[in-house]
Chains A and B, each alone.
Chain A
Amino acid sequence: MSNIKYILGHFADPDDLMHGIDKLQEGNVKIYDVYTPMPIHGIEDKLGIKRSRLGKVAFCFGLTGTITAITMIWYMLVYDWPMNIGGKPHFAFPDFVPIMFELTVLFCAFGMVGTYFFVNHLAPGRAPRVMDLRATNDRFVVAIDAKENPYHDKIDNILKEAGAVEVKHNERKYVSYE
């Protein structure tokens, strides 16, 4: 077997790309992923991509913020240094709500930024993972795992017949920025 790891089909137009995906699926070719410079309606359903778990992550970060806020306020204003503010009870819950709300939002927002960097390998000093640089510019790229899918000539033909402007056989998964 060859050293080819991934076959990349480049399309110049989203309509051609969708057509290409249909043709590959008709030919029972398993698609690894698709990279496009812009979101395309309906592509998730076509590729059978599962719903993102981002919402659950966001909820966990938010809940952490709420708990942090209420613990902090409770420690400061109820346990450690209770003060008489306007004759209210020390645990004056309505007063705490804005802080709980703000910390929920803050933790959630920071958590989402962190998650974004983590998932996309964008930590400082790390090279971003990109399979083809033009997928961030003007090309719609279908990636096919060459080890999983034999008959590379057949795949090439399907891609070209569907309107691919370029077909690449890559021996490395990601391009580097060197």
Chain B
Amino acid sequence: MGNHNHTHTHNFSEQFIFSGKLKTWTLIAIVVGVLSIAFGFLTDHAERTYANLLLMAYYFACVCATGTFFIALQYVAQAGWATGLLRIPQAMSRVLPIASVVLFVVCAAGLATHNLYHHWHAEGITDPNSPNYDMIIANKAVYLNVPFFLTRLAVFLGAYSFFAYLFAKYAQREAEQGGLVFYDKSIKWSAVFLIIFGFTTPIWAFDTIMSLEAHWFSTMFGWYNFAAMWVSGLCVITLIVILLKKGGYLSWVNENHLHDLGKFIFAFSIFWTYVWFAQFLLIYYANMPEETVYFYKRWEPEYLPWFWVNIIINFVAPILILMARGSKRHTNTLLFVCIMLLCGHWLDYYMMIMPGTVEAERGFGIIEIGIAIGFAGLFAFLTLNQLSKRSMVPTNHPFLDESLHHQI
């Protein structure tokens, strides 16, 4: 097309070097996380610590799963624009098996120690003769019991991890051998993955988060969680791209690619609001006690300010900041929005988890901040470590040239 006959001057053989201060800081963050967990247990805040561990382990697994989802989406859409930055979601995707294990361990330990999910997992809760008997839970026990719960979690996370491994393998083979064989295979298995992922992520969210308050249910909850997952994952991808560019890498990624990522973040922030509001509106309109209890808890003075902050930070702020074309193409604006939305979706998960677990005992202190820092450090360490092992660009990807000339 047009004047695109010139050759590029990018250095495709450059590799990300993960060492020095950056590595030290990620390790310090992990240590901070471990110390905060220890602090939580030693100061007799076991339930609060578990709730925070669940929050961050879920967030961590969701962001890594978004990496897999992102590359699968690019393959199935046969999109070319993102090829130049595809190594970043690929690196995130490669961390997914570890994130899955972490989430599974947190859920299993929370169940075993009765710190999580005690709403439906307690002694005699399904036994009509027990003082703990709960008829609603007993009726749900066919689905909501410990072996089936853990099996579902293991199967879902295992399936996502398997596909993450498969795409990583194909990307590796493609880099070594070239040709279209692995691209075609990736498309085929991406389609399979997207179907499985689409049907199982709502159930994953029902199990891991919604069952904390097992009397209440909402069919919108799964998509609401998917929207949160996808926005925060896109923010992580964009954040890493921007920081790498600031560090002098990724010369072939320019404001056009950032513009597309910005559009994604803008659009799915609105989508998040759409599902959030759809869930709220149905409950508000029907006004049935067993449904309104969810928002009733979040409307208590303890949580009310954060209820509003959640909407402002995840909807009003991104829609106003990112609406203009220029702000999506301006690196520092986009960087600010990414960091803001990552904090915003932490708060979103906080609002999903805390009122159902620690309720009025909630806090915001060393445990919350420390565990968040610890998981951020763990994610950064593992992802950047994966990123440093390969070239920064999939040189044999058939759409690389299109990505280099991407213009909008």
**Which A positions have Cβ atoms within 8 angstroms of B?**
14-15, 18, 40-43, 51, 55, 86-88, 94-95, 97-98
Q: How far is the CA of A41 from the CA of B402 in the complex (A)?
A: 12
Residues in B271-298 with C-beta less than 8 Å from chain A: 277, 280-281, 284-287
- Residue among B280, B287, B405 making CB contact with A86, cutoff 8 Å: B287
Q: A41-B407, A42-B407 are in contact. Are A94 and B284 (CB under 8 A)?
A: yes
Closest 6 CB pairs of A and B: A41-B407, A94-B284, A94-B281, A86-B287, A18-B2, A18-B3
Q: How far is the CA of A41 from the CA of B3 in the complex (A)?
A: 9
Q: How far is the CA of A15 from the CA of B6 in the complex (A)?
A: 13
Interface assignment of B1: CB less than 8 Å from any CB of chain A: yes
Q: Is the CB of B3 within 8 A of A15?
A: yes
Q: How far is the CA of A86 from the CA of B286 in the complex (A)?
A: 8
Q: How far is the CA of A97 from the CA of B2 in the complex (A)?
A: 46
- Residue among B1, B287, B325 making CB contact with A87, cutoff 8 Å: B287
A15 contacts across to B, CB distance below 8 A: 2-3, 5
Q: How far is the CA of A132 from the CA of B287 in the complex (A)?
A: 63
Q: How far is the CB of A25 from chain B (nearest CB, A)?
A: 13
- Residue among A42, A55, A94 making CB contact with B280, cutoff 8 Å: A94
Considering the complex, give the chain B residue whose CB is closest to the CB of A86. Answer: B287
Q: Is the CB of A86 within 8 A of B285?
A: yes
Q: Is the CB of B285 within 8 A of A95?
A: yes
Q: How far is the CB of A60 from chain B (nearest CB, A)?
A: 14
Q: How far is the CA of A57 from the CA of B285 in the complex (A)?
A: 34
Considering the complex, give the chain A residue whose CB is closest to the CB of B285. Answer: A95
Considering the complex, give the chain A residue whose CB is closest to the CB of B408. Answer: A41
Residues in B95-125 with C-beta less than 8 Å from chain A: none
Residues in B116-148 with C-beta less than 8 Å from chain A: none
B2 contacts across to A, CB distance below 8 A: 14-15, 18, 40-43
| 11 A-B contacts (beta carbon < 8 Å) | A14-B1, A14-B2, A18-B2, A18-B3, A40-B1, A41-B407, A86-B286, A86-B287, A94-B280, A94-B281, A94-B284
Considering the complex, give the chain A residue whose CB is closest to the CB of B284. Answer: A94
Q: Is the CB of A97 within 8 A of B281?
A: yes
Q: How far is the CB of B6 from chain A (nearest CB, A)?
A: 12
Q: A42-B407, A87-B287 are in contact. Are A95 and B3 (CB under 8 A)?
A: no
Q: How far is the CA of A87 from the CA of B286 in the complex (A)?
A: 11
Residues in B2-35 with C-beta less than 8 Å from chain A: 2-3, 5
Q: How far is the CB of A20 from chain B (nearest CB, A)?
A: 12
Q: Is the CB of B281 within 8 A of A42?
A: no
Q: Is the CB of B281 within 8 A of A95?
A: yes
A95 contacts across to B, CB distance below 8 A: 281, 284-285
Known: A42-B2, A94-B277, A94-B284. 12 other contacts (CB 8 A): A18-B2, A18-B3, A40-B2, A41-B1, A41-B2, A43-B2, A55-B325, A86-B285, A87-B287, A95-B285, A97-B277, A97-B281
Considering the complex, give the chain B residue whose CB is closest to the CB of A46. Answer: B3
B277 contacts across to A, CB distance below 8 A: 94, 97
Q: How far is the CA of A88 from the CA of B283 in the complex (A)?
A: 13
A14 contacts across to B, CB distance below 8 A: 1-2
A88 contacts across to B, CB distance below 8 A: 287
Q: How far is the CB of B306 from chain A (nearest CB, A)?
A: 19
Considering the complex, give the chain A residue whose CB is closest to the CB of B1. Answer: A41
Q: How far is the CA of A98 from the CA of B273 in the complex (A)?
A: 12
A42 contacts across to B, CB distance below 8 A: 2-3, 407
Q: Is the CB of B3 within 8 A of A98?
A: no
Q: How far is the CA of A55 from the CA of B1 in the complex (A)?
A: 28
Q: How far is the CA of A40 from the CA of B3 in the complex (A)?
A: 10
Considering the complex, give the chain A residue whose CB is closest to the CB of B283. Answer: A94
Residues in B302-325 with C-beta less than 8 Å from chain A: 325
Considering the complex, give the chain A residue whose CB is closest to the CB of B274. Answer: A101
Q: How far is the CB of A121 from chain B (nearest CB, A)?
A: 27
Q: How far is the CB of B325 from chain A (nearest CB, A)?
A: 8
Q: How far is the CB of A98 from chain B (nearest CB, A)?
A: 7
Q: How far is the CA of A98 from the CA of B287 in the complex (A)?
A: 18
Q: How far is the CB of A82 from chain B (nearest CB, A)?
A: 17
Q: How far is the CB of A140 from chain B (nearest CB, A)?
A: 11
Q: How far is the CB of B285 from chain A (nearest CB, A)?
A: 6
B5 contacts across to A, CB distance below 8 A: 15
B405 contacts across to A, CB distance below 8 A: 41
A87 contacts across to B, CB distance below 8 A: 287
Q: How far is the CA of A41 from the CA of B325 in the complex (A)?
A: 17
Q: How far is the CA of A87 from the CA of B292 in the complex (A)?
A: 14
Q: How far is the CA of A88 from the CA of B312 in the complex (A)?
A: 25
Q: How far is the CB of B4 from chain A (nearest CB, A)?
A: 8
B285 contacts across to A, CB distance below 8 A: 86, 94-95
Q: How far is the CA of A40 from the CA of B287 in the complex (A)?
A: 54
Q: Is the CB of A98 within 8 A of B281?
A: yes
